[in-house]
Amino acid sequence: MKIIVGHANMDLDCFGSIALIKYIYPDHQPVKSQLIHPSARKLYNLYQNRFNFLVPTDLKGKNIEHIVVVDTNSKNRVKEYFDHIENFDGQIEVWDHHPSEGSLFEDATFHSALYGANATLIGLELIKRGIKIDPEDATIALAGIYADTGNFLYENVTNDDFQVASYLIDNGASIPLVRKFLKILTEKNQISLFHDVFNRLTYKNINGHFIILSYIEIEEQVGGMAAVIEKIFEVERADAMFCVFHVNKNEQNVIIARSNTDSINLNELLQHFNGGGHVRAASASVKDQSGMMVFAQVEEHLKKSLKPALIASDIMEKDIEVIKETMDLLEASIFLEKIGHTGAPVVSKKGDLTGFMTLRDIMKGRKSDQMHSSVKGYMSKNVITGTKDITVREVEELLFKHNVGHLPIVQGRAIVGMITRTDYLRLMDNKKQNSE
């Protein structure tokens, strides 16, 4: 007997991976986890007959020759299947797009790459082999790619994710159905939980990162908790969010976390609580501890483990070209043309920042034929500035709130650095490249 399995609490990408991997291993039978992620239940209800899943108990007493594992590389996340397999000495092949989650399979064959979705990894192999697939399977897989890439907005997105999505659409994937599967909050209990969690948010600056924390007690675990956290995280502009649910019925604590940046690696952070997942989406379960104790442990762990956020001094230009306030407009114009900048800070004889001069300011003097007037009469005197210790998030807020293209960094009244929109855009692009 040959089987295909995915991780426990199967999500859309897991179902998408199984839908595609069947074309590579047509003689294998898929096995369903006992748990299905709420985001995937609607899809599963519609397509369960197409999958024709076995359940883990069907594996008892069977001679399993070959196991294909999709969307995880961790033995812990497929334990429910192996608990029913006796004396397995066959082969294991793993198709997974996650970083190492710990407890890796020994002597397994790994097919892995860091794509936005696991369905992309398998879809590329189908493209390579020239395999056409049914529209139903294309729809299932496309839903998985959209879900795991955040509608192609997460930083884990690669060119290959778009290529496979195009391949799936060419094979008849239904965009209207995908859109229906991706609707997050549909149940009344999810709406109620959304408001309960939203009213219990606390905001913390932890090592320069803007973190949202929330603790809530519920009588019993309900479906769709992760979807609720995702929706709140969309609304709140935070670097990361950690929510601890204490389930009174079984004294269990469920930690659900989401991140907006690869510098806050949730997969690594939640391994401290024997959890894991993606860099930007992870969860953990902690038993036999009070909820408030676990909540305090989460905050303390973040304080110890989060690397300090980038600050202005990390990204600012330190060699600053300045205009002296003794210059006239013509001299300032020639100076800006020479250095190739659209503006520069104006400093006094002592080197203190007194204003900012742009080509637009100079144009006003040129129109009125006042090019020999002092820059002091045309420069902007109300200059928006920052200090060396402000975070990149605060730099972003200053640039966009005040609609300025240059942010002088000062220490006292002396200018010690400069951050421009170009510097900010370069930083964002470097973050993207470093995450690929």
Tell me: the pLDDT tens digits for 283-329?
A: 999 998 999 999 999 999 999 999 999 999 999 999 999 999 999 99
**End-to-end CA, the chain:** 38
Instruction: Look at the chain and count its residues.
Output: 436
- pLDDT tens digits for 338-390? 998 889 999 998 889 999 999 999 999 999 899 999 999 999 999 999 999 99
Question: Nearest Cα to 120, choosing from 68, 181, 178, 168?
Answer: 168
- pLDDT tens digits for 377-432? 999 999 999 999 999 989 999 998 998 889 999 999 899 999 988 888 888 776 54
The CATH number of 2-181 is which of 3.90.1640.10, 3.40.470.10, 1.10.150.120, 3.40.50.1220? 3.90.1640.10
**DSSP string for 222-243:** -TTHHHHHHHHHHHS--SEEEE
Q: Residues 33-58: what's their mean pLDDT? A: 91
- pLDDT tens digits for 128-176? 999 999 999 999 999 999 999 988 988 789 999 999 999 999 999 999 9
Kindly state the percentage of the chain with pLDDT values over 90.
70
In the Cβ-directed half-sphere of 390, how many Cα atoms lie within 13 Å? Answer: 20
What kind of architecture, by CATH, is found in domain 313-432?
Roll (3.10)
Please report which confidence band the pLDDT of residue 436 belongs to, taking 50, 70 and 90 as the band edges: very low
Domain 188-305, classified CATH 3.40.50.970, yes or no? no
Q: Residues 19-40: what's their mean pLDDT? A: 94
**Range scoring the smallest mean pLDDT among 8-22, 123-137, 179-193, 195-209:** 179-193
Backbone angles phi, psi at 327, to 5 degrees: -75, 155
The percent of the chain in helix, strand and coil, each rounded to the nearest 5, is: 40, 25, 35
Domain ranges of the chain: 2-181, 188-305, 313-432
Quote the pLDDT of residue 101.
Answer: 62
Q: Which two tokens stand for residue 197?
A: 């969690």
Identify how many contiguous H helices and E strands the chain contains and give both numbers.
Answer: 16, 16
**DSSP string for 46-70:** HHHHHHT-B-GGGGTT----EEEEE
285 Rama class: left (phi>0) / alpha (psi -120 to 50) / beta: beta
Quote the pLDDT of residue 433.
Answer: 46
Residue written as token pair 């993606």: 278
Q: Strands, DSSP E only, in 157-300? A: 201-206, 209-218, 240-247, 252-259, 276-277, 281-287
Averaged pLDDT score across all residues of the chain: 91
